[in-house]
Structure 1
């Protein structure tokens, strides 16, 4: 009897000991391998444009609470040197682990990008000493990354269209910008324009009232900056917006070739070409012979003219607002949603279309730390953390869940209102080349070199060479 009882106690003690040893209760620091891994420094080089490093201080600090071994080396580069620096750095194996690209650059950089993995396994801090802040316990965590369906459910639809390729995720956005209408309240009041124009017909009527010329025909006050390519910062985006709102199919269903010169399959008149009509509408504003003439190639750059109170209305992005407010401190500025075709806010095909422009954060294929890089980006793009970035930079969200919050900010509201209806289109492997071709198309019309039909046909042929 004694032997049986003794044997039972021995077995029980052995089982308890095994439990403590295998469960981690026997070690104050939990998984020692995880603790040791958290002592190994990881450097992630992060390259971007426009935003200063303090825009990310809060996000990086929060990430370091769980991953204290990760050092994010943030570098802001000038836009005009950015791509050259990227390519040279990668060629010399000193490039960034994480970098940002414009949404139109995905095709161009696809081979440089490491797609998001399905899961990552990383060490993380479980607990710290309250006094010394030293790691008390650490472990490994298998983190499930975002799926294509998560992208579709959590972000604006256009982001899914841009970043998901062959069922893989090629990047995550921190914000999403769209074209909106900037206007000078004082000028509109002086012209007795009671309601801010919300349709393109109203824009035409307002432009006629707002445009003032001297005795020699020189424009001394422009109604709206439309029609040219040399002095409107995002002329191609504005023309794209007009074309898409008018029902233009920018590419075929597969996105493999440009089709914006083709007739509309939805129009009653099967010969109607909505792209051509949008091009005519745009360039009319820069033609002295047209009733809506309100801008020309000799005018200053649009934002400069707006700040100098020589321009009543312009289409622009949220990132332009801080500079306009700083330089045009005495101006009474208003911002409204971009105009649409119909009075109810819809466009030619019955839906509401706005134009998106945004940057995508992604991971370089050459990175030595892919799991850390992608884990940090998913952390940064999460609602809880990205809101800190958005508040510092005053940018509109890309997340559906933050739209309502941003509607409370008068400056951001017009852009936040447009997030869900903002669209883009695939512009081949060289988005800049496509933009330049659009500029040449506009120039050909203004100089009378081609008809709208000819200019569009030539543009499509050239753009398709980049697909």
Structure 2
């Protein structure tokens, strides 16, 4: 992909309009650039590389930062994920760029040696950055969000948002399912609805809250023509035509009380481990998760609704071949941008909390998000403090509130998310409070092994315990690999 480096210029009158809209009108304190190399125009350059986020969001914040630091020029490069990690690694090795690098959170352990932690004192005189960040950023479930960005008691990254898996559903297909049921079960004239009709009507008012509710919905939403599935209830049960299949299975393992990788300094794969129920009975969270996940593509099971011949889950959703998909809040933006004929704005995309095991138990969710980091290229050029100050400029609380509100995605800041969680529309923000994050080393191989485990069960007929034990060993070896 040909990269187009884009310099962020901000005309003053546009800046005034933008600043009032975003709440970033207060100037940050100038940052010293003494002894930092400059370009031919006498400017200290900060190169910011991102994969998928939007340049327009950063214009006002770059404008404010450059107005306060007229000796600084911010450059922005939106590259896309293809070869993103490889291209960046090559540039950092040459001490060239970028200085600020946005990456998926599960890339952090593999790239820690390429990064420079946030210096102490940037968030207040005589303050330790790790103490302030722990105070302000969401901890997540089991402190996973903290643990994903803090290594050796130093802050290596800041989350841009905290995206959690959620349910997207097609309201029209739910309405049609209710109409089909009512036509097949006509009510006697002037009679009250039966208990069964009330149950079905309640089920089809929106996406289910628990996995058991989902199982009740499967036959209502699935439309078959003989052995062929014409419309699926939900995209679950395979790997290759379901986006985020590995994340979904990991979520299910966490929800069953399991873990993927152990805590502590020495990381080990632990998802093959057993747990003990309150009644003393042993059970295996990964076995339970894979058994349920694979059942959705098993023609011998009652909840069969998907198979490998179905289109990609995104295509299936946009062509009304599936009633529900599990994806991240960023999927809303994708739907509005690529399928404007179906969704004119973000508010038109129904999004709901992901299924839980029980409404009574504490919810368990799964997060994947991008983080902001500073690279060794900044260190080589004496720009570490400046680069982190630029990140803190657009990541401070009011700016995060404006950006995440524009994107309709959860903020990483505790104060914002806790406030939004109190609102009637705050269900997705609430999920961030209990979000788990999986630690990965050699993340490409890690993901490939996890996907292979699912594929071996769902398509190749391998017994679940064999697949889990084999993959647990392979990932354990991967975690120990230099």
Equivalent-residue separation in structure 1 for 2:126 and 2:301 (angstroms): 58
Contact 1:59–1:389 (CA under 8 A) maintained in structure 2: no
- After TM superposition, the structure 1 = structure 2 runs for residues 64-83 of structure 1, keeping only pairs within 5 Å, are 64-83=66-85
**Corresponding residue number in structure 1 for 2:335:** 324
**Corresponding residue number in structure 1 for 2:134:** 152
More strand by share: 1
- After TM superposition, the structure 1 = structure 2 runs for residues 9-158 of structure 1, keeping only pairs within 5 Å, are 41-120=43-122, 147-158=129-140
**Corresponding residue number in structure 2 for 1:286:** 297
Contact 1:115–1:168 (CA under 8 A) maintained in structure 2: yes
- After TM superposition, the structure 1 = structure 2 runs for residues 424-439 of structure 1, keeping only pairs within 5 Å, are 424-427=437-440, 429-439=441-451
**Corresponding residue number in structure 2 for 1:314:** 325
Equivalent-residue separation in structure 2 for 1:263 and 1:405 (angstroms): 37
- Output one character per residue of 1:153-195: Cα deviation in whole Å (capped at 9) or x when no partner: 2111132121111111101112110111111112112223135
**Corresponding residue number in structure 1 for 2:463:** 451
Equivalent-residue separation in structure 2 for 1:156 and 1:386 (angstroms): 13
Normalised by the size of structure 2, how large is the TM-score? 0.79
Closer, same or farther: CA 87–71 of 1 in aligned 2, 3 Å: same
Closer, same or farther: CA 34–250 of 1 in aligned 2, 3 Å: closer
Equivalent-residue separation in structure 2 for 1:370 and 1:400 (angstroms): 26
Specify every segment of 5 or more residues in structure 1 that has no aligned partner in the other structure, as ranges: 1-30, 122-141
Contact 2:51–2:103 (CA under 8 A) maintained in structure 1: no
Equivalent-residue separation in structure 1 for 2:375 and 2:423 (angstroms): 35
Given candidates 220, 243, 248, the residue that maps to 2:253 is 243
After TM superposition, give the deviation of residue 147 of structure 1 in Å.
2.6
Closer, same or farther: CA 168–266 of 1 in aligned 2, 3 Å: farther
The answer as to 2:158 corresponding to 1:167 is no
**Corresponding residue number in structure 2 for 1:11:** none
Q: What RMSD in Å do the two structures reach over aligned CA positions? A: 2.6
After TM superposition, give the deviation of residue 144 of structure 1 in Å.
5.8
Q: Could you say which structure has the larger radius of gyration?
A: 1
Closer, same or farther: CA 226–328 of 1 in aligned 2, 3 Å: farther
Given candidates 433, 436, 442, the residue that maps to 1:420 is 433
Equivalent-residue separation in structure 1 for 2:333 and 2:158 (angstroms): 25
**Corresponding residue number in structure 2 for 1:390:** 404
Closer, same or farther: CA 266–249 of 1 in aligned 2, 3 Å: farther
- Output one character per residue of 1:59-96: Cα deviation in whole Å (capped at 9) or x when no partner: 11122232221111110012112112112212333221
Contact 1:249–1:264 (CA under 8 A) maintained in structure 2: no
After TM superposition, give the deviation of residue 311 of structure 1 in Å.
0.5
Contact 1:239–1:278 (CA under 8 A) maintained in structure 2: yes
Closer, same or farther: CA 190–400 of 1 in aligned 2, 3 Å: same
Equivalent-residue separation in structure 2 for 1:261 and 1:230 (angstroms): 23
After TM superposition, give the deviation of residue 409 of structure 1 in Å.
9.2
**Corresponding residue number in structure 2 for 1:17:** none
Equivalent-residue separation in structure 2 for 1:446 and 1:328 (angstroms): 34
After TM superposition, give the deviation of residue 423 of structure 1 in Å.
1.3
**Corresponding residue number in structure 2 for 1:262:** 273
**Corresponding residue number in structure 1 for 2:389:** 375
Equivalent-residue separation in structure 1 for 2:120 and 2:446 (angstroms): 34
